[in-house]
């Protein structure tokens, strides 16, 4: 099987020749650009300054690296995350930038400011001295009064940018014709992550004024379905996976509780996913962090195809339990290397054993795409990277 055939087998719930490698194949299955720089060396690839798929400072995986690591999925574009386009003749959209003592490439209109004290500013956020991530400078006022938005004034744009649509159409066609990699499109549609007044205000709104929240979700649903129609026209014949995100869980469970989630969100996700499947054959890749095991049956009932990142360190998210409970009904994407469970002090052998065990557990019987848990952190040592890749190659065959 080639890569596209391999992934499509999994998407159709058939057993492929081996576990597909989806590392870097979506925006939340990759790694910090500092780790990607190490990955190029571990794989023996010609090292180029990595490109930053901004917002989460993760790397854009390039085709030579995907091939070298046995990868099967390529991320076509990341419109909601990155200002610059990822594929095609887009060099003029990227510039070199020194960060963390190394040279990277970032979108030309992103501005990073060295503050002279070891900190770096970007979009109003600060990367502290010695850090690798940008802390959001937005303190939450837990004593603030509830702000109730007017749903009639909520008007998300119904038309995706035409220039971006045409670019991803052209590049999807090129990748489909010139490569056998499976194509995934990043977060593009207007989704159901409606957060009026911030997270705390949104949670209060769900309890105090649920009808307002539901009105906002209804409008978002309509726009999401219109966006899906536009994407189907542009790239539906080339793209196999389309990503969407909504972080429902923390390490303990569903943040707003299962019952409230079912009252507020489930009806709209059911409409969205059912409409999605009527409009396009692109599979739904839902990214949701934390412990979401308690609502997995609901998400499957709604029609989700793929769950990412499979955060095995969270409550009730152990690999064996997830596989046993849901592995025949949904595709699990991730879960192989969980930085919360694998400290940097671990040896090569310890990391190898952990990853090997997870790949074998999650890959048993199919319905699994290999990747780490979310984007692998900047502190990940080179010997961990090598152990993870080696374990994947040794565990990927079905026995």
Tell me the percentage of the chain whose pLDDT exceeds 90: 95
Q: What is the per-residue pLDDT for 399?
A: 63
Q: What is the per-residue pLDDT for 141?
A: 66
Given pLDDT bands bounded at 50, 70 and 90, which one contains residue 54? confident
In a domain, 51, yes or no: yes
In a domain, 207, yes or no: no
pTM of the entire structure? 0.97
In a domain, 96, yes or no: no
Supply the mean pLDDT for the chain. Answer: 96
CATH code where residue 182 lies: 3.20.20.210
Given pLDDT bands bounded at 50, 70 and 90, which one contains residue 291? very high
In a domain, 210, yes or no: no
Lowest mean pLDDT among 55-59, 94-98, 359-363, 393-397: 55-59
Q: Give 398 or 131, the one with higher predicted confidence.
A: 131
In this model, does residue 140 exceed pLDDT 80?
no
Q: What is the per-residue pLDDT for 136?
A: 83
In a domain, 116, yes or no: no
d(CA 67, CA 56): 24
Q: What is the per-residue pLDDT for 138?
A: 63
Domain that holds residue 274: 3-90+160-193+224-395
Q: pLDDT by residue (tens digit) across 246-285?
A: 999 999 999 999 999 999 999 999 999 999 999 999 999 9
Domain count, the chain: 1
Q: What is the per-residue pLDDT for 46?
A: 87
In a domain, 384, yes or no: yes
In a domain, 362, yes or no: yes
User: Is 339 within 8 Å of 309 (Cβ atoms)?
Assistant: no
In a domain, 95, yes or no: no
């Amino acid at each position: 099987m080639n890569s596209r055939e391999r992934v499509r087998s999994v998407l159709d719930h058939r057993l492929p020749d081996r576990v597909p490698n989806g590392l870097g194949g979506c925006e939340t299955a990759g790694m910090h650009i500092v780790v990607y720089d190490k990955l190029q060396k571990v794989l023996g690839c010609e090292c180029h300054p990595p490109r930053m798929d901004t917002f989460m400072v993760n790397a854009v995986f390039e085709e030579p690296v995907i091939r070298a690591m046995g990868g099967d999925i390529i991320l076509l574009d990341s419109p909601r995350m990155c200002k610059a386009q990822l594929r095609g003749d887009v060099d003029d959209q990227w510039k070199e930038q020194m960060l963390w003592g190394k040279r990277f490439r970032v979108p030309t209109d992103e501005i990073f400011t060295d503050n002279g004290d070891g900190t770096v500013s970007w979009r109003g956020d600060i990367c502290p001295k010695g850090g690798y991530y940008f802390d959001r400078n937005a303190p939450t006022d837990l004593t603030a009064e509830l702000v109730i938005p007017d749903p009639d004034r909520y008007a998300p744009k119904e038309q995706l940018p035409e220039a971006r649509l045409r670019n991803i159409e052209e590049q999807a066609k090129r990748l489909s014709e010139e490569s056998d990699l499976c194509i995934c499109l990043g977060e593009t549609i207007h989704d159901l992550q409606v957060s009026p007044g911030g997270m705390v205000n949104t949670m209060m709104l769900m309890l105090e004024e649920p009808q307002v929240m539901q009105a906002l979700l209804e409008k978002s649903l309509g726009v999401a379905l219109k966006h899906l129609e536009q994407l189907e026209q542009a790239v539906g014949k080339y793209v196999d996976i389309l990503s969407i995100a909504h972080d429902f869980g923390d390490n303990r469970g569903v943040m707003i509780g299962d019952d409230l989630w079912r009252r507020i969100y489930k009806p709209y996700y059911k409409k969205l996913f059912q409409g999605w499947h009527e409009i396009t054959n692109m599979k739904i890749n839902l990214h949701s962090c934390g412990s979401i095991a308690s609502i997995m049956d609901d998400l499957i009932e709604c029609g989700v195809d793929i769950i990412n990142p499979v955060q095995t360190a969270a409550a009730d998210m152990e690999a064996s339990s997830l596989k046993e409970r849901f592995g025949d009904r949904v595709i699990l994407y991730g879960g192989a290397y969980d930085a919360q469970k694998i400290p940097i002090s671990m040896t090569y052998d310890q990391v190898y054993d952990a990853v090997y065990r997870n790949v074998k557990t999650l890959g048993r019987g199919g319905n699994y795409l290999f990747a780490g848990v979310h984007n692998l952190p900047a502190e990940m040592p080179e010997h961990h990277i090598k152990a993870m890749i080696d374990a994947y190659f040794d565990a990927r065959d079905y026995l």
